[in-house]
Amino acid sequence: MIDWGWIADHIGAIAGRLGQHIELTAIALVVGFAISLALSLWSLRRPRAKTLVIGISGILFTIPSLALFAAFTSITGLSLLTAEIPLVLYTLVIYVRNMLVGLEAVPADVLEAADASGFRPRERLLRIELPLAIPLIVSGLRLASVSTIGLVTITSTIGDAFGGLGFFIKERPFFLTEVLVGAVGSIALALAADAAFARLQRRLTPWAAARTAVDPR
Amino acid sequence: MTLPGEVWAWLTDPAHWTGPSGIPMRLAEHVAISAVSIAIALAIAFPIGLWVGHTRRGVRLAINLANVGRAIPSLAAIGIVVPFTVLIDPDAGFKVIPTLIAMVVLAVPPILVNTYSGVAEVDADLVEAARAMGLRERQILGRVELPLGLPVILAGVRSASVQVIATATLGAIYGLGALGSYIVEGVAQNDDGKLFGGVVLVALLALLSEALLAFAQRRTTPRGLRAAATTEPAGA
Amino acid sequence: MGTAERVVFEHVSKRYPGTGTGNPGAVEDLSLEVPAGKICVLVGPSGCGKTTSLKMVNRLIEPTSGRILIGDTDVARRDVIELRRSIGYVIQQVGLFPHQTVGENVATVPRLLGWEPARQRARAAELLELVGLDPGRYAGRYPTALSGGERQRVGVARALAADPPVLLMDEPFGAVDPIVRERLQNELLRLQEELAKTIIFVTHDIDEAIKMGDLVAVMQVGGHLAQFGPPAEILANPASEFVARFVGADRGLKRLALVRVGELELREATTARPGEDAAAVRPRAAADSFPYVLLVDEANRPIGWLDERRIPASGPLVVDHAEAESPLFDRHTTLKDALSMLLEAGVQAGIVVGGAGAVEGLVTVEMIMERVRPA
């Protein structure tokens, strides 16, 4: 059923597309992260801003990606922007929701103790709030990475220059081997990213694992 | 003509509102296949979710399944089915069946997870009280857990619907028809009016579905409870 | 350690916009002076403004009118960040930073002040020792691994790290059980003997106020100061119906809280070690009118009581012979708490122990009653 010979012959192309897939994903994740962090910090204590940010990013997310990619093809042509702008926009709601929940989950007594100790607002943000929000921020990264890896396959609709592993899904739809390379490859990539970020999350929170039997003194 | 002008012209052209490639027809196709796939996904995932949520068995499996499901790109879901179904029926097995199967597969995880958690997260004290009052397990599920878990379950249906509408759009690449065809044709024919007309239609449909389900979700939330929105952003 | 400063409230009011006076959390024309090195307790029912008053000292809340002085300086004139770094603050839920170790938590203010890491660590170790936690065992742990009592000790250590002249405490022992609370109260008093900080302490518990305060400020809902003075004064001469009611009907019993065990002349216990020859112990026991002998270990820590009549004629004393347990007190335990514990345990005498747990003497119910008998 599977033509291993074809795979062997095209290993270079496959590696290239894999690399492209990772590159497209990474750019979107990084740019999206930066924008979302800025938006989250801005709307953290501004209820109306928060509604606006979550509302707009939510609406964007609802729009089917084929539509958005095709629309941008018309605006920004066959450039990297056409692929990346929608990819970034789709990460926003995932990131922002998780970042805001993470930042808002810092207990009030911890914030009060920080203020009373004499932290300046920026010091408090950098040394107390953000570190404590890390588990949820990484959770956002995890969800965004899986989502983006999936969306990158759809960039193949922009043109042959894009698509990452998605290229192989579309190129010859009846050729099972090639389709499998693209489909299974992108699924495997997504699962790998999911597992990697899950591990990262566990590594970054040593204090959560510290619960031990309590000594009633 | 400006872009908005082109789009408006295209949308208001009466010719585009008749015939097998007219807006009503394609809209109907889109809605129909979306509804059917959600119905099938519900038929599969809902009972399982209820069982897992009520008995707390198989939770790990359900969650892992959902994780894997979330990792499947919609294009991959369609594409992987095509080589097989095409052997059964070269026409429908290319245009319709793969997309439909993909839509069902992608809709199952959010519905499953949200049904499970909606039921499982109902206040344990309430469930215990119901049990103590002599309600049978099935009655507990039907009269306590289900009504209280409804908002979360609907959040799952809502998430699945976004996913499904997007996948149906994608199906146009494989000749499904529906609203995605305007986008695909618009690109091929370099017709911006049609392209963006399709974009607008598809976006409106998705937003409308979101709004309706969000409204339903809010309506089923008892006033005292906050809606535990497990709206897992789906993707396309 | 550094010098303490006095804290002065001058006609301080806090009104919330859109409300009149007399609202929960409001403060109305509060004037009082806390001399340097003294503990002033703000006590009153919920909504009397005691916490609000406390928070105006480190400007977590800003007064609507009036001013607060530390030393001779109006706190409003100082840079708020610099002010807060020079005031220790302890709250009920402690607010330890969960993502930092105990050591890092304690060194919070030194780190903000830019101390060298080595100096920070040394100071943290010093303070942990001071609050009774072994730095070797605790410095590297995370707050979630600690019990409530341990966490509050760390909270106090953190507040004291930069040797502030003023310490603010808001119901610091409210979240722990009564036994732990009593111990923490005693330890704070012991610390205060060494450090002599100016402490402003908020509580809703009049008993805690009487025990802890050099000065007590009773506040009532609406933020008015009902009475300000030493605890004995509040008990003997309540200034109003409200104060009398708030202090409670058992003012006589409450006066027991004014005297500490350390002020009594302790009765000596007849002690014996396990393994000692019973024959040698019997005459000692007979000489003491108290019918029990106290078994202690090599470090003089109490193990249990031995009924005189049950001492065997000869042979080594064995730990199994011991029966009946007594409550343990330290020098700071109030007579009120001591009496309460003795009654609860249904025993005649309690054992007073020192810092290392060694026996210092006995306190009996009779001794307590004798002490409070009017002269």
Q: What domains appear along chain B, each with residue ranges and CATH number? A: 3-11+23-219 (1.10.3720.10)
In a domain, A2, yes or no: no
For the record, the structure tokens of C38 come out as 């003294």
Distance from CA of A86 to the nearest CA of B (A): 11
* CA C57-C61-C66 angle, 5° bins: 65
Parts of chain B with a pLDDT under 50: 227-236
Rounded Cα distance, A102 and A109, in Å: 16
Residue of A nearest to B208 (CA): A62
| A19, A24, A178, C293 from C169: Cα distances, Å | 59, 54, 70, 42
**Residue B111: how many CA atoms within 13 Å on its side-chain side?**
24
pLDDT band at residue A130 under the 50/70/90 scheme: very high
Beta bridge partners of C30: C12
In b/e form, how buried is each residue of B124-133, taking b as 16+ CB within 10 angstroms?
eeebeebeee
Q: Give the residue among B105, B104, B98, B100 at the shortest CA–CA distance from B81.
A: B98
In the block, which residue shows the tokens 């993909």? B102
pLDDT of residue B56: 85
How far is CA A171 from its chain centroid?
26
Q: Give the residue among B98, B101, B100 at the shortest CA–CA distance from B89.
A: B98
Rounded Cα distance, A132 and C292, in Å: 57
Rounded Cα distance, C351 and C233, in Å: 30
Phi, psi dihedrals of residue C71, rounded to the nearest 5°: 70, -115
Average pLDDT over residues C20-36: 83
pLDDT of residue C21: 59
Residue A191 has pLDDT above 50, yes or no: yes
| C window 320-359, beta carbon within 8 A of A | none
pLDDT of residue B161: 94
Q: Are the C-beta atoms of C53 and C42 separated by less than 8 Å? A: yes
pLDDT band at residue C22 under the 50/70/90 scheme: low
Q: Give the residue among C12, C34, C60, C62 at the shortest CA–CA distance from C165.
A: C34
Return the CATH superfamily for domain C262-368: CBS-domain (3.10.580.10)
User: Are the Cβ atoms of A147 and B192 closer than 8 angstroms?
Assistant: no
Domain containing A117: what range? 24-203
**Residue C144: how many CA atoms within 13 Å on its side-chain side?**
11
Q: What is the DSSP letter of C334?
A: B
In a domain, A174, yes or no: yes
Distance from CA of B232 to the nearest CA of A (A): 8
| C window 159-178, beta carbon within 8 A of A | 168, 177
Q: Work out how many CB contacts closer than 8 A connect A with C.
A: 86
Q: Which amino acid, B148?
A: L
Average pLDDT over residues A84-103: 94
Phi, psi dihedrals of residue C301, rounded to the nearest 5°: -90, 140
* CA C23-C35-C208 angle, 5° bins: 60
pLDDT of residue C79: 95
In the block, which residue shows the tokens 């069982």? B51
When the pLDDT of each residue in chain A is averaged and rounded to a whole number, the result is: 90
User: Are the Cβ atoms of C99 and A112 closer than 8 angstroms?
Assistant: no
Chain C residues with CB-CB distance to A119 below 8 A: 81, 112
For the record, the structure tokens of B181 come out as 């065809």
Average pLDDT over residues A182-201: 93
Domain tally, chain A: 1
Q: Are the C-beta atoms of C128 and C106 separated by less than 8 Å? A: yes
A128 contacts chain C (CB < 8 A): yes
In a domain, A126, yes or no: yes
Chain B residues with CB-CB distance to A184 below 8 A: 76, 80
Taking only the tens place, the pLDDT of each residue in C152-206 is 999 999 999 999 999 999 999 988 888 889 889 999 999 999 999 999 999 999 9
Q: Give the residue among C94, C132, A62 at the shortest CA–CA distance from B235.
A: A62
Residue C344 has pLDDT above 70, yes or no: yes
Rounded Cα distance, A125 and A106, in Å: 11
Beta bridge partners of C329: C352
In 10 A of CB C366, how many CB atoms?
11
Residue positions counted in chain B:
236
Q: Are the C-beta atoms of C333 and C187 separated by less than 8 Å? A: no
Q: Measured between CB atoms, which of A67, A186, A191 is closest to B183?
A: A67
Chain A residues with CB-CB distance to B184 below 8 A: 70
Q: Give the residue among C19, C5, C172 at the shortest CA–CA distance from C93.
A: C172
Rounded Cα distance, A110 and C89, in Å: 12
Chain C residues with CB-CB distance to A118 below 8 A: 81-86, 109, 112
Rounded Cα distance, B142 and B168, in Å: 33
> Which segments of chain C does DSSP mark as H helices, in order?
50-57, 80-85, 102-106, 108-112, 117-130, 135-138, 148-160, 178-195, 206-212, 231-236, 241-247, 251-254, 278-287, 335-345, 365-372
Residue of A nearest to C142 (CA): A207
**pLDDT greater at residue C307 or residue C233:** C233
Rounded Cα distance, C84 and A115, in Å: 8
pLDDT of residue B149: 87
**Residue C102: how many CA atoms within 13 Å on its side-chain side?**
30
Residue A64 has pLDDT above 50, yes or no: yes
| A169, B31, B39, B94, B199 from B82: Cα distances, Å | 10, 22, 22, 6, 25
User: Are the Cβ atoms of A154 and B73 closer than 8 angstroms?
Assistant: yes
In a domain, A179, yes or no: yes
DSSP states of A161-211: T--TTHHHHHHSTT-HHHHHHHHHHHHHHHHHHHHHHHHHHHHT-TTGGG-
The order of strands in the sheet holding C39-43 is: C87-91, C166-170, C198-203, C39-43, C215-220, C224-229
Q: Are the C-beta atoms of C319 and C304 separated by less than 8 Å? A: yes
In b/e form, how buried is each residue of B24-63, taking b as 16+ CB within 10 angstroms?
eebbebbbebbeebbebbbebbbebbbbbbbeeeeeeebb
In the block, which residue shows the tokens 């199952």? B108
Sort strands C215-220 and C39-43 into parallel, antiparallel or unpaired: parallel
Residues of A in CB contact (< 8 Å) with B are 59, 61-68, 70-71, 73-74, 90, 93-94, 97, 143, 146-147, 149-154, 156-157, 166, 169-170, 173-176, 179-180, 182-184, 186-187, 190-191, 194
Residue positions counted in chain A:
217
CA trace torsion C215, C163, C151, A111 (10° rounding): 90
Among A63, A92, A141, the strongest candidate for a mutation testing the B interface, having the largest count of B CBs within 10 A, is A63
Q: Are the C-beta atoms of B162 and B210 separated by less than 8 Å? A: yes
Instruction: Write down the domain spans for chain C.
Output: 7-250, 262-368
pLDDT of residue C321: 62
For the record, the structure tokens of B200 come out as 């607008």
Taking only the tens place, the pLDDT of each residue in C218-227 is 999 889 999 9
Query: Which chains does chain B touch, 3 or more C-beta pairs < 8 A?
Result: A
CATH number at residue A65: 1.10.3720.10
Rounded Cα distance, A84 and B59, in Å: 37
pLDDT band at residue A217 under the 50/70/90 scheme: very low
In a domain, A210, yes or no: no
Q: What is the DSSP letter of A125?
A: I
In 10 A of CB B182, how many CB atoms?
29
Q: Are the C-beta atoms of C270 and C245 separated by less than 8 Å? A: no
Q: What is the DSSP letter of C30?
A: E
User: Are the Cβ atoms of A117 and C99 closer than 8 angstroms?
Assistant: no
* CA B184-B189-B195 angle, 5° bins: 50
In b/e form, how buried is each residue of A159-180, taking b as 16+ CB within 10 angstroms?
eeebbbbbbbbbeebeebbbbb
pLDDT of residue B224: 60
When the pLDDT of each residue in chain C is averaged and rounded to a whole number, the result is: 88
Q: Give the residue among A146, C58, A81 at the shortest CA–CA distance from B73.
A: A146
| C70, C87, C96, C128, C216 from C156: Cα distances, Å | 21, 12, 11, 9, 21
Q: Are the C-beta atoms of A169 and C60 separated by less than 8 Å? A: no
Average pLDDT over residues A19-45: 95
Beta bridge partners of C359: C353
* CATH class of the region C7-250: alpha beta
pLDDT of residue C86: 94
In a domain, A216, yes or no: no
Q: Measured between CB atoms, which of B74, B82, B184 is closest to A173?
A: B82
DSSP states of C212-244: H-SEEEEEETTTEEEEEE-HHHHHHS-SSHHHH
Among A103, A117, A129, the strongest candidate for a mutation testing the C interface, having the largest count of C CBs within 10 A, is A117
User: Are the Cβ atoms of A207 and C85 closer than 8 angstroms?
Assistant: no
Residue of A nearest to C88 (CA): A117
In a domain, A159, yes or no: yes
Among B26, B30, B75, the strongest candidate for a mutation testing the A interface, having the largest count of A CBs within 10 A, is B75
The three-state secondary structure class of B96 is coil
